[in-house]
């Protein structure tokens, strides 16, 4: 099993609760070791790849509203130093111009094509990975999901409707999960999902529907070409 670990959340959690860099490193080391212990109780990794600290997110060029809700948030004092430590000591993979999620999505896509999707597992807490038909291990909940093609398609288009509060993406305010479930109830192809969703965008945005649809899609769809 090839293991792809999104370490960004683990790094942030270690930094935000620590007063010194040494304490940050100790907490991250403890968290990482416990994570690997949990994984190795069930799986025998053929390779473990850690991803963290990607910079220069292209989505901020699409709209200045992307993650604008985070601008006033102060970052932990030792966050960047801890990122550098993980990059140096754990050889973490860093992307430029994209997010860590995009890097993992790209590695997952290529590995799945080469060795099969049943031999690759994404380890993270970010729900965005559920847009892929992957093995997704939520290390916070200690739960493994085996996401099918149809589930992955629904997950992505549902997110287009619901948005992503954490990233300040909400193009269809007032429409939630219950509405999405009803809207896509009889959809069994990407064409039907796209058609049904675009009709909703036209109701909301009229002449700007295409522009807003493309913006929303590009903000939420993880890249697999990094």
pLDDT digits (tens, 9 = 90+) for 28-41: 999 999 999 999 99
What is the domain extent for residue 162? Answer: 150-220
Q: Do both 116 and 167 map to the same domain?
A: no
Establish if 225 belongs to a structural domain.
no
pLDDT of 71 higher than 90: no
What's the whole-number mean pLDDT along residues 202-225?
98
Mark which of 115, 148, 181 sits at the end of a domain.
148
Question: Which band of pLDDT confidence, cut at 50, 70 and 90, is reported for residue 8?
Answer: very high
Establish if 160 belongs to a structural domain.
yes
Q: Do both 116 and 179 map to the same domain?
A: no
What's the whole-number mean pLDDT along residues 47-73?
91
What's the whole-number mean pLDDT along residues 187-207?
97
Mark which of 148, 183, 212 sits at the end of a domain.
148
Token pair of 87 as six digits: 């990059």
Question: Which band of pLDDT confidence, cut at 50, 70 and 90, is reported for residue 117?
Answer: very high
What's the whole-number mean pLDDT along residues 123-137?
97
Mark which of 124, 148, 172 sits at the end of a domain.
148
Q: Do both 65 and 157 map to the same domain?
A: no
- What pLDDT is stored for residue 225 in this prediction? 96
Q: Do both 48 and 31 map to the same domain?
A: yes
Q: Do both 61 and 103 map to the same domain?
A: yes
Q: Do both 114 and 212 map to the same domain?
A: no
CATH code for position 81 = 3.40.50.1010
DSSP type of residue 5:
E
- What pLDDT is stored for residue 70 in this prediction? 78
Establish if 119 belongs to a structural domain.
yes
Pairing type for strands 143-146 and 135-138 reads antiparallel
DSSP type of residue 222:
P
Question: Which band of pLDDT confidence, cut at 50, 70 and 90, is reported for residue 74?
Answer: confident
What's the whole-number mean pLDDT along residues 74-95?
96
Q: Do both 125 and 31 map to the same domain?
A: yes
Q: Do both 30 and 100 map to the same domain?
A: yes
More confident residue, 75 or 120: 120
Q: Do both 130 and 30 map to the same domain?
A: yes
Q: Do both 118 and 158 map to the same domain?
A: no
Report how far residue 83's alpha carbon sits from residue 91's, in angstroms, rounded to the nearest whole number. Answer: 11
Q: Do both 33 and 76 map to the same domain?
A: yes
- What pLDDT is stored for residue 68 in this prediction? 87
Question: Which band of pLDDT confidence, cut at 50, 70 and 90, is reported for residue 78?
Answer: very high
Helix and strand numbers, DSSP H then E, in the chain: 9, 5
Structural domain count, the chain = 2
pLDDT digits 0-9 by tens, 162-191: 999 989 999 999 999 999 999 999 999 999
pLDDT of 194 higher than 80: yes
Establish if 226 belongs to a structural domain.
no
Q: Do both 185 and 144 map to the same domain?
A: no
Mean pLDDT of the chain: 96
Report how far residue 157's alpha carbon sits from residue 183's, in angstroms, rounded to the nearest whole number. Answer: 10
- Element at 138 (helix H, strand E): strand 135-138
- Element at 155 (helix H, strand E): helix 149-162
Provide the 3-class DSSP secondary structure of residue 96.
Answer: strand
What's the whole-number mean pLDDT along residues 113-127?
96
């Amino acid at each position: 099993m090839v293991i792809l670990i999104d370490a960004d959340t683990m790094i942030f959690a270690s930094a935000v609760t620590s007063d010194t860099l040494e304490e940050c490193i100790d907490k991250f080391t403890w968290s990482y070791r416990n994570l690997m212990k949990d994984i190795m109780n069930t799986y025998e990794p053929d390779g473990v790849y850690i991803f963290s600290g990607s910079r220069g997110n292209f989505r901020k060029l699409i709209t200045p509203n992307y993650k604008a809700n985070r601008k006033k948030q102060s970052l932990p004092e030792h966050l960047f130093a801890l990122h550098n430590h993980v990059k140096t000591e754990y050889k973490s993979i860093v992307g430029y111009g994209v997010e860590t999620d995009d890097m993992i999505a790209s590695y997952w896509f290529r590995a799945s094509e080469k060795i099969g999707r049943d031999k690759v597992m994404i380890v993270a807490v970010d729900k965005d990975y559920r847009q892929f038909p992957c093995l997704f291990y939520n290390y916070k909940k200690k739960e493994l999901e085996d996401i099918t093609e149809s589930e992955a398609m629904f997950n992505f288009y549902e997110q287009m409707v619901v948005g992503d509060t954490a990233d300040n993406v909400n193009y269809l305010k007032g429409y939630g999960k219950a509405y999405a479930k009803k809207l896509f109830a009889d959809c069994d192809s990407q064409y039907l999902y796209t058609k049904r969703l675009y009709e909703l965008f036209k109701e909301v945005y009229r002449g700007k529907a295409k522009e807003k649809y493309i913006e929303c899609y590009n903000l939420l769809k993880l890249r697999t070409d990094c």
